[in-house]
Structures are given as C-alpha cells and as structure tokens.
Structure 1
C-alpha cells in the first residue's frame, strides 16, 4: 500500500502544480497589462476525477492556491469595473461628430 499512497500523493501534487501554474499566469498577466493581448487564454482547469480525494497533507497548498485564485478574480472584476467606468467617461466626451455646432462665432456681421 505505501507505493499506492505515494502514487496518489504524486498525482495530486501534479494536479495542484497545473492549477498553481494557471493562477500564476493570471497573476502575471494582471501585473503586466501590456502582455494581456499577447498571451492566449489558458485551458480551464478541471479537478481530476480518477485520482480520488485530495491528500490531507496537500490541503494547505490547495487552500493557498484557492486564496490566490479568489484574489486574482477580485482584481479582474475590479479592473473590469474600472474599464467600464473609463468607457462611460469616454462616451460622454463630446467629439463634435454627432452634433454639428459652430466652432467660432463671427461677430463682424
């Protein structure tokens, strides 16, 4: 049974490694706004179904990854709100295209 326990632990360690790399990539994109357009979206992570329950000793690491994911999701939501506010502000700026008004008034007449 010891070999089976190690295989189980190793499988979960690999699953958490993949999940941690996804959240690290998201955090890196949030830190570097210029790369956002250059980085393709990652494949969504799915919990492994064939390896059983998470080993208890890996729970702190899984909890820490979850905390980081939640922080990244909150930051994404905050930036989306800021972008929408900026778009709304830009929409209110009058460009002169929609309404034709005189640019100057000729007082000589």
Structure 2
C-alpha cells in the first residue's frame, strides 16, 4: 500500500522547496557578482538587507536535506570568497591612497645639452 502525503504535508514540503529556491537564487546572484568582480547596485543591496527568513516552516523535510546541505555549502563558499574580495579591495584601496599621497618627484638634474 502506498502512503499518500497529507495535504498539509504537501504544503509544508512545497513551502520548504520555495524557501530553498529563493535562497539558491540569492546565492547564484552573489556568485555572479563575485565572478564578474561587479559591485551590486543600491537596489540589490537594499533587497538583500531587507531579507528575512521565512517563518513557520517547521523542520526541514528529510527528502530536501541533501539540497539544503548543498545550498549551505555554496553559501559558505560565497561568504569566504566575499571575505577574500574585501581583503583584496582594502589592499588595493590602501595602495591607491599611498600613491595619491606622494608628492610629485622634482627633477634633480636638468639636461641643457639635449
């Protein structure tokens, strides 16, 4: 005899699938930005800052465990890459400021023959 999922179990599973799908889209967006070395626009930053975890989902359905784990792994990888990009950006900014802060070189010799 086949076990048929209860209607609210189907809704529960569908809500979790949608939540994971939304998170996957966010990770894909972050990965694209990192790959393109592109700064997000203000609207993207505002949307990301306004994100709130879905409420009332309950425990993760067991069939979605592997998908959720893969998503977590991608999120952690993206976070590490973002942290690395921040360090590189700060080093570049420091180098740029160092170059800008130098006074222009004054020639020591004057070529009167040339």
Q: Which range, TM-score by smaller chain?
A: 0.7 to 0.9
2:33–2:40 CA contact under 8 A, matched in 1: no
Structure 1 segments unaligned to the other structure (5+ residues) = none
Distance 2:16 2:85 in 1: 33
Residue 88 of structure 1, aligned match among 91, 94, 103: 94
Counting only pairs closer than 5 Å after superposition, residues 14-29 of structure 1 correspond to structure 2 as 14-29=18-33
Structure 1 residue aligned with 2:36: 32
Secondary structure, counterpart of 2:60 in structure 1: coil
- More divergent stretch after superposition (14-23 vs 88-97): 88-97
Is 1:43–2:30 an aligned residue pair?
no
Task: Give the drift of 1:107.
Answer: 8.8
Structure 2 segments unaligned to the other structure (5+ residues) = none
TM-score, normalised with respect to structure 2:
0.75
Q: Give the number of aligned pairs.
A: 104
Secondary structure, counterpart of 1:43 in structure 2: helix
TM-score, normalised with respect to structure 1:
0.78
Counting only pairs closer than 5 Å after superposition, residues 90-109 of structure 1 correspond to structure 2 as 90-93=96-99, 95-96=102-103, 102-106=106-110
RMSD of aligned C-alpha atoms?
2.4
Structure 1 residue aligned with 2:8: 4
Residue 69 of structure 1, aligned match among 71, 75, 84: 75
